[in-house]
Structure 1
Amino acid sequence: MQATVRTSVTFTGAGLHSGTPATIVVRPAVAGHGIWFCRTDVASGDNMIPAIWHSAEHAALCTKLVNDDGLYVSTVEHLMAALAGCGIRNALIDIDGPEVPILDGSSSPFVKGLLQGGLLKQEAATQAIEILKTVEVTQGDASARLEPASVFSMQFDIEFADAAIGAQSKSLTLSNGAFVHELANSRTFCRKADVDRMHAAGLALGGTYDNAIVVDGDTVLSPGGLRHTDEPVRHKMLDAVGDLALAGAPIIGRYVGHKSGHTLTNKLLHALFADPSAYRFVDCDSRQSAFLPGAGVTLDDIASV
Structure 2
Amino acid sequence: MKFSRQTTLRSQATVTGVGVHSGAPVSLTVGPAPIEAGLVFVRTGLDGADREVRATAGSVIATEFATVLGDSEGPLVSTAEHVLAALRGMGVDNATIEIDGPEVPIMDGSAAPFVAAIEQAGVVSQSAARRFIQVLKPVQVAIGACSGELRPNATGFRIEVEIDFTNPVIGRQSYQFDLNPERFRREIARARTFGCMSDVAKLWSAGFALGSSFENTVVFDEERLLNPEGLRYADECARHKVLDALGDLALAGLPLLGTYRSVRGGHKLNHAVLTALLADRTAWRVVEGEPAVRRPRVATEVAVGGMVGGMIAPAYGPDVS
Using structure 2 for the length normalisation, give the TM-score.
0.87
Q: Which residue in the other structure is 2:91 paired with?
A: 87
Residue of structure 2 equivalent to 1:5: 9
Q: Does 1:75 align with 2:79?
A: yes
- Matches of 2:270 and 2:100 in 1, distance apart? 27
Structure 2 residue 157 is matched with structure 1 residue 152 = yes
Partner of residue 253, structure 1: 258
Give the counterpart letter for 1:244 in structure 2. L
Q: Deviations over 1:56-101 (max 9, x none)?
A: 1344554321111113200100000000001111111111110000
Amino acid at match of 1:9: A
Which position in structure 1 is the counterpart of 2:125? 121
- Secondary structure class of the residue paired with 1:71: strand
* Structure 2 counterpart of 1:14: 18
2:228 counterpart letter in structure 1: P
Superposition CA RMSD, Å:
1.7
Deviation at 1:283, TM superposition (A): 0.4
- Quick check: 1:63–1:77 contact (8 Å CA) kept in 2? no
Letter in 2 for 1:44: G
1:197 alignment partner in structure 2: 202
**Pairwise CA distance, 1:175:** 3.0
Question: Which ranges of structure 1 fall in alignment gaps of 5 or more residues?
Answer: 291-305
The reply on whether 1:241 has 2:253 as its aligned counterpart is no
Shift of 1:129: 0.8
When normalised by structure 1's length, the TM-score is: 0.91
- Which runs of structure 2 are paired with 1:171-250 in the superposition (5 Å)? 171-250=176-255
In 2, distance between residues paired with 1:115 and 1:218? 39
Partner of 1:164: 169
Runs (4+) of structure 1 moved beyond 2 Å?
43-46, 57-63, 285-290
**Could you report, residue by residue, the CA deviation over 1:224-261 in whole angstroms, capped at 9, with x for unpaired residues?**
11100000010011000000001011111000001111
1:279 maps to which residue?
A: 284
1:270 maps to which of 269, 275, 278: 275
Unaligned runs of 5+ in 2: 296-321
Aligned residues: 290
* Change in 2 beyond 3 A, CA 1:134/1:286: closer
3-state secondary structure, aligned to 1:277: coil
Structure-2 residue corresponding to 1:100: 104
Per-residue CA shift, 1:208-227, capped at 9, x if unaligned?
10101000113111121110
CA distance in 2, matches of 1:126, 1:287: 13
The 2-side partners of 1:242 and 1:221 are apart by 27
SS across alignment from 2:74: coil
Q: Does 1:66 align with 2:39?
A: no
Question: Could you say what secondary structure the match of 1:80 adopts?
Answer: helix
Q: CA deviation at 1:162?
A: 1.7
Give identity over the alignment, percent. Answer: 42
